[in-house]
Structure 1
Amino acid sequence: MAFRLGGDEFTLILQPGDQHSVDSINERLAVEISNTNFLTELNFSVSVGYAHWQMGEDVNSLFAIADKKLYRNKKHK
């Protein structure tokens, strides 16, 4: 399921939500962007932050974890 959080931020809920799922989505996004002339002309890119739910975590902690990884990944681009 995909949801727009606002501006240019989206969240996805993946099932199964394992590392393979995250890597697969990340790869598909990169391929689609690179294969779309309009997006490459705009120098469009994507940065991903993710979190895997663990027992006892709530939605706020998941977003905080994902947000931290998102900004770390933006710095490495």
Structure 2
Amino acid sequence: MTKIETVMEFKNVIQTNFGFIVVSNEQSNTVHQSRCSTLNDKFAEVGNTFHWFATIALAEKSFKTTACDTCKPE
């Protein structure tokens, strides 16, 4: 697990097109594929935190997640 804290880290993860990102806020922990089209908008929102995982299994072990409706990670 790697916490994404800067715009540069976020851009690097998106460009690699590898792994999964969990977007956490007060309401949910949503897992996305790193190439999900909704991530850019979510990064700009206040209150969201981002964590990158190499596999979806690691993400699910760390957070109680729901899957993104747009990218449907598996």
TM-score by length of 2: 0.28
Higher strand residue share: 2
Q: Could you say which structure has the greater relative contact order, defined with CA pairs below 8 angstroms and 6 or more residues apart? A: 2
TM-score by length of 1: 0.28
Higher helix residue share: 1
Larger radius of gyration: 1
